[in-house]
Each structure stands twice: as C-alpha cells, then as structure tokens.
C-alpha cells in the first residue's frame, strides 16, 4: 500500500475500511468514498481548491450555533435535505406531506394557553389558524403534541417555538402574526455560499409545524401561503403544492377567538393527517 495515485487510492481506502463491523456503516462509507473520489477526479480538484474547501468547512464549524446550523443549511442549499426527506417520505395517499427535518430544540418549548397570541410582538396582521390532527381515515387523534415554529421577528435566523393545546377531539387553534417572507441567515458561510452561487436568500412565508402522537409517524411540515412571490423560487427547494393554503381576508369584526377586531385579519383551516407508524 505505497505509491497510491488518483486511480488506485479508492480501492486502497475501501480495502482499509473492510474491517468495519457495522454493515450499514460499511455501506455508507463505501459509497461516500467512491462518490467523494469521483467528484475530486471528475473536476481534477487542485490543492488550492482543496484548501479552500477545508477552510470553508472550518469557517462553517466556527459559525455553527443552535439558531444557525450551518451544516444543515448547507445541506438545504445543495438540495441534499429535500432529497433525503423525499426518499424517506413514503406515507399513504391523503397524509400530510413532510417538508422539513425535525430539529430537537435545546429547551423544551412552552405550552401556549388556549387562545394565547403567539406573535403579539409582531406588526404583521393577525392570522387565526384552526383545524384538527387526524388519521388517514379522518378520525381525530386526541391530545397530539403540536409544535409551531416561527421566525423570531427580533433576530433574523432565530426560531420561536411553542406547543399548542390539542383537545380530545384533535382540534387546535392558533392565533398568531401572519408569517412573512424571511431570508436564510446570511451572516455565516451557508449564506456566503448562497451568495457565491448567485442565488436569492428569500424563502416563501410559512409556518413550520411538528406533530407527534403515539402510534403515528412524527410529521414535520410547512404551511405556505398561496400567492407568495417566492413559491417557485424557494432557495431550499421545500415547497409542495399540497401545503399551499389560501388564507381568507376579513376586514374586521368577530374573530375565531371570539374577540372583536377593528383591524383586518386572516383565517385559515388546516388539518394535519398523520400516518400510522
């Protein structure tokens, strides 16, 4: 195993890796080495470019935080995330589609009181979202765990999360600020990559939800808004037609929360349909 060149190195690495005990890890590493080497050979990667790549990864590592997960963002930007989500989203027809990865929060989100305003600190119009958590036959899933995320209006890139009460009939209500377009955090290497690729940073406005219930596959998805100018230009490739919704505009009056509003507001009905485990 001496004098390895760009053609013989691949087989040498695979031979070295043949002692891996875990069959799945061996399969993953074999494919990783083959494809990584194919990439470097195909474009005849130079030493300078290799160093640039290593530096980029180090910079991404240094900038990585819970709110700005650089490696996850890079995966989204390169379309890897959409690929992985799509090839693992094999649910019966009628179930709500997956649109994002679940990210375990560092701190457990707070449970909102029924009717509480999740977004009272925002200037956007109010939106009232209601619906149910259902199985594919249309039966209510009582007391599911429903988590809503929104982009924090005070810190671009940060995410606020809250748990919503789901009643015994599977029903939930959310009063919040209507989501706005938001851009991918561009204060780190992932944003710099997007800029180097000459691609826009703006995402279509959306809510992100994670819904879990015993005996059902956990669902993490987005709810988009019809008419959004970025629906066909999502830099993270996440838009699915079944998740685009039509919010109803109201000039004011009685809200779904039973209050009276002098300002215009929006309403939307949206059900989450979970697949059995």
Residues 39 to 78: which contact a second copy by CB under 8 A? 39-47, 49-51, 54, 57-58, 60-62, 64, 69-72, 75, 78
CA quadruple 167, 171, 174, 180: dihedral positive or negative? positive
* Token couple for 78: 């390169």
Measure the CA–CA gap between 25 and 149, rounded to whole angstroms: 33
Residue 147 Cβ vs a second copy, minimum distance, rounded to whole Å: 17
Residue 167 Cβ vs a second copy, minimum distance, rounded to whole Å: 30
Interaction between residue 32 and a second copy (CB under 8 A): yes
Interaction between residue 81 and a second copy (CB under 8 A): yes
Cβ-Cβ contacts under 8 Å for 227 (sequence gap 6 or more): none
Among 6, 67, 155, 246, indicate the residue that binds a second copy (CB under 8 A). 6
Cβ-Cβ contacts under 8 Å for 170 (sequence gap 6 or more): 132, 133, 134, 140, 141, 142, 144
Map the footprint of a second copy across residues 100-129, applying CB under 8 A.
Answer: 101-102
Per rule CB under 8 A, count of chain residues that contact a second copy: 78
Comparison of 126 and 225: residue with beta carbon closer to a second copy: 225
Comparison of 170 and 189: residue with beta carbon closer to a second copy: 189
Phi, psi of 199 (to 5 degrees): -115, 145
| Placement of tokens 């779904």 in the chain | 256
Among 136, 145, 159, 231, indicate the residue that binds a second copy (CB under 8 A). 231
222 forms beta bridges with 208
Map the footprint of a second copy across residues 142-161, applying CB under 8 A.
Answer: none
Candidates 21-29, 163-171, 254-262, 268-276; binding stretch for a second copy (CB under 8 A): 21-29
Comparison of 11 and 259: residue with beta carbon closer to a second copy: 11
Identify each DSSP E strand in the chain by its residue range.
Answer: 110-111, 117-118, 126-135, 145-151, 159-164, 171-177, 182-183, 202-203, 206-212, 219-225, 244-245, 248-250, 253-254, 260-261, 265-269, 272-274
| Placement of tokens 């004098």 in the chain | 3
In residues, how long is the chain? 277
Comparison of 29 and 159: residue with beta carbon closer to a second copy: 29
Residue 25 Cβ vs a second copy, minimum distance, rounded to whole Å: 7
Comparison of 83 and 114: residue with beta carbon closer to a second copy: 83
Residue 137 Cβ vs a second copy, minimum distance, rounded to whole Å: 25
Map the footprint of a second copy across residues 160-199, applying CB under 8 A.
Answer: 196-199
């Amino acid at each position: 195993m001496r004098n390895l060149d760009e053609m013989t190195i691949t087989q040498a690495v695979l031979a070295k890796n043949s002692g891996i005990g875990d069959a799945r890890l061996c399969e993953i590493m074999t494919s990783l080495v083959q494809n990584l080497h194919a990439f470097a050979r195909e474009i005849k990667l130079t030493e300078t470019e290799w160093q640039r790549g290593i530096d980029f990864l180090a910079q991404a590592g240094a900038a990585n935080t819970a709110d700005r997960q650089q490696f996850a963002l890079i995966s989204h930007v390169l379309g890897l995330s959409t690929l992985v989500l799509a090839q693992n989203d094999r649910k019966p027809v009628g179930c709500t589609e997956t649109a994002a990865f679940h990210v375990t929060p560092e701190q457990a989100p707070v449970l909102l009181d029924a009717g509480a305003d999740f977004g009272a600190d925002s200037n956007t119009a109010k939106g009232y979202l209601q619906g149910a958590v259902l199985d594919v036959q249309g039966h209510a899933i009582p007391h599911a765990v429903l988590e809503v995320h929104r982009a924090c209006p005070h810190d671009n890139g940060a995410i606020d999360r809250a748990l919503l009460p789901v009643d015994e009939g599977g029903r939930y209500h959310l009063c919040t600020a209507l989501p706005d377009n938001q851009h991918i955090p561009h204060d780190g290497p992932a944003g710099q990559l997007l800029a180097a690729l000459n691609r826009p940073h703006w995402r279509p406005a959306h809510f992100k939800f994670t819904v879990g219930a015993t005996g059902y596959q956990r669902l993490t998805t987005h709810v988009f808004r019809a008419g959004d100018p970025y629906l066909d230009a999502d830099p993270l490739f996440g838009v699915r037609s079944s998740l685009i919704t039509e919010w109803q505009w109201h000039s004011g009056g009685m809200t779904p929360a039973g209050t009276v509003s002098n300002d215009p507001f929006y309403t939307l009905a949206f059900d989450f349909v979970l697949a059995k485990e």
